[in-house]
């Protein structure tokens, strides 16, 4: 069920003392030579581990990943980058790799210097603890305000895709405080991984929102080591793409369901847009609207808020196309608007699911988004985050 589900991958989670309690340092590596890629946040403020990992990917194929919780190592200037480089160098020494083969992920409070002494001591504990059964501890070690670890796996005859993720707030990925590591024993050649990872991320991690905020540290990494005994073909490539997409979707959904203050899972489905790009823009705007999210928390089918959000979706320097007279809208399967006309109906809104189906009646563009509601508890948690 974990990041070590595929053959030839090792992981562990240890306590280094960066957090006040619990595991806080994870290490993942491929025992066999691997290839890989990563997608990173597009936020202009990028954490030191993102900067260093981007550079390392340009220089070598990744073989191992160091992930710490408790400190984001973001907005820490030159010192933060030097600390990230020192982390990679020590991990490389311990694992007998080159520094450029190490990728880094950090999560926690922004603007706090990395406690490098603790991290390096933790690496000394982590390297000998690597094992095929260490995936569960690794998934726990990367948690911050998460209430539970997030793991997924999928297999077909011959190969496996496994993964872990963390994230509970500052979630509105633009990828390419969400981190994800995906591993597979499917054979890929150098340079091929991004071709598979990008569409999987686009339809999973890039289609979720907790609070509409794009983190400084968002990272999704894919490692493939070819340890599976499978003869590659166009058909197996298609199967691999499907499995990778399935694992990414399951991890993304787990992130939303564990969002800070979560009480309702919002599913926003948009169809009939002029094109897919505009459908995505409208779905994202609805999913991230504080007014729509608070209505979901209150189990209120306030269709006016959905229309407001849909009509103000940023697109190409303006707003996405929408004709109110052609819109059909439903909550949990019950229509409240049909071709722009209100229907006298009361949708059932109790429970932990709010499905919003919006048909714009303009074209063939469609997209879906998952989001959490916005509750009192979310506000409380984030009002007290550093105090």
Q: For the chain, which residues make up each domain, given as ranges?
A: 9-255, 265-383
* H/E stretch holding 239: helix 234-257
Confidence grade of residue 348 (pLDDT, cut at 50, 70, 90): very high
In this structure, are residues 225 and 29 in contact, taking their beta carbons and an 8 Å threshold? no
pLDDT above 80 (res 176): no
pLDDT above 80 (res 281): yes
For residue 385, what pLDDT is reported?
73
**Domain 9-255 listed as CATH 2.40.50.140:** no
Between 160 and 2, name the one with better pLDDT: 160
Cα distances from 154 to residues 6, 169, 298, in angstroms, run 9, 26, 36
pLDDT above 80 (res 154): yes
In this structure, are residues 256 and 265 in contact, taking their beta carbons and an 8 Å threshold? yes
Task: Give yes or no: 386 in active site.
Answer: no
pLDDT, mean over the chain: 94
What is the per-residue pLDDT across 64-97, written as a single tens digit (0 to 9) for each? Answer: 999 999 999 999 999 999 999 999 999 999 999 9
d(C-alpha 347, C-alpha 332), whole Å: 7
Q: What is the pTM of this model?
A: 0.92
Give the CA radius of gyration of the chain. Answer: 21
pLDDT above 90 (res 215): no
User: Active-site residue among 160, 177, 236, 328?
Assistant: 177
For residue 386, what pLDDT is reported?
75
**β strands within 111-213, DSSP E:** 150-156, 159-166, 179-184, 208-209
- Mean pLDDT of all residues in 164-191: 84
The CATH class that applies to domain 265-383 reads alpha beta
């Amino acid at each position: 069920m974990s990041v070590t589900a595929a053959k030839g991958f090792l992981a562990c989670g240890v306590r280094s003392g960066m957090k006040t309690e619990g595991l806080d340092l994870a290490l993942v590596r491929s025992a066999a030579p691997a290839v890989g890629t990563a997608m990173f946040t597009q936020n202009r403020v990028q954490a030191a581990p993102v900067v260093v990992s981007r550079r390392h990917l340009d220089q070598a194929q990744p073989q191992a990943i160091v992930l710490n919780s408790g400190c984001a190592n973001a907005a820490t200037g030159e010192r933060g980058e030097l600390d990230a480089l020192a982390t990679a160098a020590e991990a490389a020494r311990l694992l007998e790799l080159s520094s450029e083969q190490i990728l880094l992920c950090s999560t926690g409070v922004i603007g706090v210097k990395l406690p490098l002494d603790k991290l390096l001591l933790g690496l000394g504990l982590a390297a000998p603890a690597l094992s095929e059964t260490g995936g569960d501890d690794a998934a726990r070690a990367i948690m911050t305000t998460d209430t539970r670890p997030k793991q997924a796996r999928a297999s077909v005859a011959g190969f496996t895709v496994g993964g872990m993720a963390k994230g509970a707030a500052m979630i509105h990925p633009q990828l390419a405080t969400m981190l994800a590591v995906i591993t597979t024993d499917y054979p890929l050649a150098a340079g091929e991984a991004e071709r598979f990872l990008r569409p999987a991320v686009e339809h999973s991690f890039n289609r979720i929102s907790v609070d509409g905020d794009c983190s400084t540290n968002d990272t999704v990494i894919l490692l493939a080591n070819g340890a599976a005994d499978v003869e590659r073909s166009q058909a197996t490539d298609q199967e691999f793409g499907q499995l990778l997409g399935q694992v990414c979707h399951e991890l993304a959904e787990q992130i939303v369901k564990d969002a800070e203050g979560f009480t309702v899972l919002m599913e926003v489905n948009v169809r009939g847009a002029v094109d897919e790009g505009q459908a995505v823009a409208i779905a994202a705007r609805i999913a991230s609207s504080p007014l729509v999210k608070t209505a979901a928390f209150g189990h209120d089918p306030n269709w006016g808020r959905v229309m407001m959000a849909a009509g103000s979706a940023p697109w190409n320097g303006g707003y996405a196309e929408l004709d109110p007279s052609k819109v059909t809208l439903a909550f949990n399967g019950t229509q409240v608007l049909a071709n722009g006309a209100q229907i006298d109906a009361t949708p059932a809104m109790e429970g932990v699911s709010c499905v919003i189906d919006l048909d714009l009646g303009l074209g063939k563009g469609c997209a879906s988004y998952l989001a959490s509601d916005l509750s009192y508890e979310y506000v409380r948690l984030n009002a007290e985050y550093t105090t």
